[in-house]
Amino acid sequence: MQAQIQLAALLAGVNLVCLLALTAVWARNYRRFRTTLVLGLLAFAVAMLVENALALYFFFTMQSLYSGDPHVQQAVLVLRALQLVAVGTLTYATLK
């Protein structure tokens, strides 16, 4: 696998871990507080969780898709990095 895609896969893995933590917190909170806000947060975390799991799956099974164009690889890496910033910040604020 190309280095950039490897790194993107690693970032997707870290995102997954953060999202698992968020899903756990919000699922527990939803059992306690039956509010729309927490339900929305929970749906968000689960959707992102699935998105990252799918991304990981594609990185490992469709390498040929990414191998051709270094610009595509770079774009994919940047997108994963931005998502890590978003999800990481939210995780920090939620676990406090």
Partner 1 sequence: MEKALWYLFTATRGGYNRVRIVRTLSDRPMNANRLAEELDVSYKTVRHHLDMLAEHDVVEAGEADYAKLYFLTDRFERYRDTFEDIAGQVEE
Kindly list the residues in this chain that would bind partner 1 in the complex (CB under 8 A). Answer: 25-26, 29, 31-35, 37-38, 41, 93-96
CB under 8 Å, gap of 24 or more: what pairs does 50-57 form? 52/12, 52/15, 52/16, 52/19, 52/83, 53/16, 55/8, 55/9, 55/12, 55/80, 56/9, 56/12, 56/13, 56/16
Report the distance separating Cα 59 and Cα 43, nearest Å.
24
C-beta of 2 vs 29, nearer to partner 1: 29
The distance of closest approach from Cβ of residue 73 to partner 1 in the complex, given in angstroms and rounded to an integer, is 35
The distance of closest approach from Cβ of residue 85 to partner 1 in the complex, given in angstroms and rounded to an integer, is 19
C-beta of 24 vs 62, nearer to partner 1: 24
The distance of closest approach from Cβ of residue 96 to partner 1 in the complex, given in angstroms and rounded to an integer, is 6
C-beta of 35 vs 74, nearer to partner 1: 35
